[in-house]
Structures are given as structure tokens and as C-alpha cells.
């Protein structure tokens, strides 16, 4: 394996449409599906949702680059890599039942102050009949993009230079977070603002675009 380098990435997410990430255990009067809120009552994107979305696009990128990912089908542990000597690229970096993750994701927290969620009405639709199902009216919350415009977070860990550039490229492929995608919610743009690498005992800043360009030149692939 190539040398593992300690790194830290500063990530910025710009919300394009309202956001719906289910808040487990949270309730509100007359609302069937509440959103996740932090201790200050602000909407945020949990680290688990952040990591899961990045991993999904990392796997998509690996397939596009010709890596064999057929034996690994997360998130069910029994369908993931179980041989430490033969891990797919995603399990090697993000972790598997037999491999600890080498990357850590923080929550994506809003730059803006607290704002009350909006409440929307949804209906269940029969896939067979393509008509509204009787008794399937429900109410759900969403974080308004008119207020929550920007979220920031950090990704840190140990990776090779190639893994780092693949990680940056995977984040750029993300188009949404959370649920209710079919209703247009959660659309977002993700940018890696800065990358810090620990080299020769010191932390040095690197431009993400420069790292991507090095990968393009080395692999002759267009990311």
C-alpha cells in the first residue's frame, strides 16, 4: 500500500432546496415526519448521513474507474468485504466488518442561526395504479433553504494521495442529502474548501483542485 498521510478537509455545502433529514425520536404536534435538529434547535446534516452519502458516490466513482466492486454491497454487513487481505477500495478507506474506518466525518452544521422548520403535506402514491392511495395523507417538516443556505464540516483521517483525490472527486458528485428527493428536497452543492496534509512533521495547506489535477495527469481519467 502507498504511504498513508494524515489529512483534514474543510467542506462547505450550499443548500439549493429545502432539506429533510428524519429526526429519530423527535415529535411535533400534527407532524408525521420531523427533521433532525441539534441542541440549539438548528437543522443539520448528521455525520452518519454525510459519510453514507460520500461512500455511495465513492463506490460509484470506483466502478467508473474500473474497480471490481461486485463482491461488496453495503450497508448490510453480511454483504460487505470479510477478507482483510482483499478489501475493495471503499471498505479499505471507509471501513468494513473486518476493517476499522480510516476516515472520520463531523456533522455538517449551519452557518446561519436557528429558523423554524416549515411543514409540508405529502400523499402516498400506489406504484401499481399510479394513483393516490386512500388514507395516505401525511405532514412532514423541512429546513427552509431560504434561511439555511450554508453548512460546514470536516473530514479527517489517514489516506494515500490517490484515495484523497478520489474522496474529493466523490464529494463533488453529491447532488442531494436526506429524504424526499422525489419531491425536490435536499438538493445541494458540495465543495472541499481546503485540504491539510501532515508532511515532514508539519501541516501544509493544499488546493483541492490541484490535487485533482495531479490525479487526472497520473491516471489519464476525467473525473
Domain ranges of the chain: 5-28+36-114+145-219
Region 119-142: mean pLDDT is 65
- What secondary structure does DSSP assign to 36-88, as a single string? PB-TTS-B-B-HHHHHHHHHHHHHHHHHHTT---TT---SSGGGS---TTS--
Would you say 196 and 48 are in contact if contact means Cβ atoms under 8 Å apart?
A: no
- Which 8-state DSSP code applies to residue 108? B
Residue 193 has pLDDT above 70, yes or no: yes
Region 37-58: mean pLDDT is 92
Among 27-41, 90-104, 169-183, the range scoring the smallest mean pLDDT is 27-41
pLDDT range class, residue 195, cuts 50, 70, 90? very high
High-pLDDT (> 70) share of the chain, %? 86
Region 57-79: mean pLDDT is 85
pLDDT for 222 equals 44
- Which 8-state DSSP code applies to residue 176? B
pLDDT range class, residue 216, cuts 50, 70, 90? low
pLDDT for 129 equals 55
Length of the chain: 223
Radius of gyration, alpha carbons of the chain = 19
Q: Which residues pair with 96 in a beta bridge?
A: 99
pLDDT for 138 equals 72
Among 50-54, 109-113, 218-222, the range scoring the smallest mean pLDDT is 218-222
Separation CA 129–CA 127 (nearest Å):
6
- Higher confidence at residue 153 or residue 116? 153
Region 40-65: mean pLDDT is 92
Q: List the grid coordinates of 114.
A: 436557528
Q: Is 3 left (phi over 0), alpha (psi -120 to 50) or beta?
A: beta
Residue 217 has pLDDT above 50, yes or no: yes
High-pLDDT (> 90) share of the chain, %? 46
Separation CA 7–CA 141 (nearest Å):
36
Residue whose grid cell is 461512500: 55
Mean pLDDT computed over every residue of the chain:
85
Q: Cα angle vertex 99, ends 206, 196, to 5°?
A: 10
Amino acid at each position: 500500500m502507498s504511504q498513508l498521510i494524515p489529512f483534514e478537509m474543510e467542506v462547505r455545502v450550499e443548500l439549493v432546496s429545502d432539506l429533510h433529514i428524519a429526526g429519530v425520536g423527535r415529535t411535533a404536534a400534527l407532524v408525521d415526519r420531523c427533521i433532525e435538529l441539534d441542541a440549539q434547535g438548528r437543522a443539520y446534516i448528521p455525520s452518519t448521513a454525510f459519510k453514507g452519502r460520500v461512500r455511495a458516490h465513492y463506490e460509484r466513482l470506483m466502478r467508473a474507474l474500473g474497480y471490481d466492486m461486485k463482491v461488496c454491497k453495503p450497508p448490510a454487513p453480511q454483504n460487505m468485504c470479510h477478507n482483510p487481505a482483499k478489501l475493495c477500495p471503499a471498505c479499505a478507506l471507509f471501513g468494513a466488518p473486518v476493517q476499522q474506518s480510516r476516515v472520520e466525518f463531523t456533522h455538517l452544521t449551519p452557518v446561519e442561526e436557528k429558523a423554524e422548520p416549515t411543514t409540508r403535506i405529502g400523499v402516498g402514491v400506489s406504484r401499481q395504479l399510479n394513483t393516490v392511495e386512500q388514507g395516505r395523507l401525511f405532514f412532514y417538516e423541512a429546513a427552509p433553504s431560504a434561511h439555511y443556505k450554508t453548512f460546514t464540516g470536516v473530514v479527517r483521517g489517514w489516506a494515500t494521495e490517490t484515495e484523497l483525490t478520489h474522496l474529493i472527486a466523490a464529494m463533488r458528485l453529491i447532488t442531494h442529502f436526506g429524504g424526499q428527493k422525489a419531491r425536490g428536497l435536499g438538493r445541494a452543492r458540495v465543495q472541499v474548501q481546503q485540504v491539510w496534509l501532515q508532511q515532514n512533521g508539519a501541516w501544509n495547506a493544499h488546493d483541492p483542485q490541484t490535487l485533482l489535477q495531479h490525479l487526472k495527469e497520473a491516471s489519464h481519467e476525467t473525473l
